[in-house]
């Protein structure tokens, strides 16, 4: 068993309300049903928590802009969770039983881990009917109409409770913190397991009207810039390209990359960053040359 926790946006926008209701309902339909904790006092959060019989924690720390602070949410979730594994998930993500199977496989093979996956961007504009076979129907629809996001599309983080003991005071919903999560685990030699081949992670497309400057504001605004600063700068923005392990057919495989090892050295030791970048360029050039010769 495990706990899913989230910090939903206000339910005042009809489309946001629809996709968040779909997402949180999907979590409640997982087998076995997880504990679900919704953080924040944004309009509509208490109501959806009551409707779906999940835990609501309204009190969270906020920054000077009024945005919830992720470190407080993560630490509260770990302290309140009933179960040994916790998972932060964005509130527009629909999860299905393949997520549970992947989490079970990873947790049985590793005592320390950060489980992540690549999302599948899909247009969903109506409330879903969670009748029999809803997962099969959604899979068909997402494969037909959706599109897999690039390596920066990381929308959940599952890990053992108590593993994350330090986290900068990131603003929720702004760029920079999710990529720091991957860096932090890699830097601590905690296995970062990409389960994209085993899990269809359905992200329901939406606009960014919740931010006054829209998408640009969430990615490049003052709070996003501060997130990146708090995380240690752009050199620590890791993606799915930097994971250390992958789940394939139920088994975890090590992903070793000389490029990733050089990147980590340069990140840990800034004075060597120029050397590692130069070494990367040289090795890549030699690899291309050897590849041409062999062919």
DSSP string, 20-78: HHHHHHHHHTSSSPPEEEEE---TTHHHHHHHHT-EEE----B-TTSPBBHHHHHHHHH
* 282 and 202 within one domain: no
Torsion sign over Cα 159, 165, 167, 173 = positive
Distance CA 265, CA 247 (A): 25
pLDDT in tens, 270-292: 776 776 666 666 655 555 555 45
Mean pLDDT value across residues 124-144: 94
pTM, two decimal places: 0.86
DSSP string, 234-257: GGG---GGG-SEEEETTEEEE---
Task: Provide the domain limits for residue 289.
Answer: 257-294
* 287 and 182 within one domain: no
* 245 and 265 within one domain: no
Upper half-sphere CA count for residue 233 (Cβ side, 13 Å) = 5
**Can you read off the two tokens belonging to residue 274?**
């120029």
Other C-beta atoms within 10 Å of 178: how many? Answer: 24
**How many structural domains comprise the chain?**
2
* 180 and 263 within one domain: no
Other C-beta atoms within 10 Å of 198: how many? Answer: 18
* 180 and 38 within one domain: yes
Distance CA 6, CA 21 (A): 13
* 83 and 65 within one domain: yes
* 104 and 177 within one domain: yes
**Can you read off the two tokens belonging to residue 72?**
């407080």
Q: Is the pLDDT of residue 197 over 90?
A: yes
**Can you read off the two tokens belonging to residue 272?**
């060597």
Q: Is the pLDDT of residue 202 over 90?
A: yes
Q: Is the pLDDT of residue 295 over 70?
A: no
C-alpha pair distances (Å), 204 with each of 29, 121, 215, 281: 17, 6, 15, 38
pLDDT, position 294: 47
* 151 and 54 within one domain: yes
Question: To which residue do tokens 């041409």 refer?
Answer: 292
* 275 and 231 within one domain: no
CATH number at residue 140: 3.90.550.10
* 120 and 151 within one domain: yes
* 227 and 288 within one domain: no
Distance CA 75, CA 71 (A): 6
Distance CA 4, CA 273 (A): 37
Q: Is the pLDDT of residue 173 over 70?
A: yes
* 264 and 243 within one domain: no
Cβ–Cβ < 8 Å for 289, 282: no
């Amino acid at each position: 068993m495990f706990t899913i926790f989230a910090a939903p946006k206000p339910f005042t926008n009809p489309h946001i309300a629809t996709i968040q209701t779909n997402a949180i309902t999907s979590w409640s339909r997982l087998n076995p049903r997880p504990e679900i904790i919704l953080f924040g006092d944004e309009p509509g959060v208490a109501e959806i928590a009551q409707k779906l019989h999940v835990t609501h924690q309204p009190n969270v720390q906020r920054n000077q802009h009024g945005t919830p602070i992720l470190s407080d949410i993560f630490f509260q979730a770990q302290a309140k969770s009933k179960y040994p594994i916790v998972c932060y998930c964005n509130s527009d993500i629909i999860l299905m039983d393949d997520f549970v199977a992947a989490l079970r496989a990873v947790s049985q093979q590793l005592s320390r881990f950060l489980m992540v996956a690549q999302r599948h961007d899909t247009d969903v504009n109506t409330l879903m009917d969670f009748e029999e076979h809803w997962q099969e129907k959604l899979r068909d629809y997402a494969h037909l109409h959706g599109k897999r996001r690039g390596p920066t599309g990381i929308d959940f983080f599952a890990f053992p409770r108590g593993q994350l003991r330090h986290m900068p005071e990131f603003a929720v919903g702004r760029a920079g913190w999710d990529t720091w999560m991957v860096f932090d685990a890699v830097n601590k030699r905690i296995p970062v397991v990409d389960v994209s081949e085993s899990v269809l992670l359905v992200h329901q497309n939406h606009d960014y009207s919740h931010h006054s400057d829209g998408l640009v504001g969430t990615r490049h605004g003052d709070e996003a810039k501060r997130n990146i600063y708090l995380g240690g700068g752009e050199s620590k923005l890791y993606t799915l390209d930097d994971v250390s392990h992958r789940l394939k057919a139920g088994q975890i495989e090590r992903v070793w990359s000389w490029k990733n090892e050089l990147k980590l050295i340069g990140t840990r030791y800034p004075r060597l960053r120029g050397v590692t970048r130069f070494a990367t360029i040289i090795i890549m050039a030699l690899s291309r040359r050897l590849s041409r010769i062999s062919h």
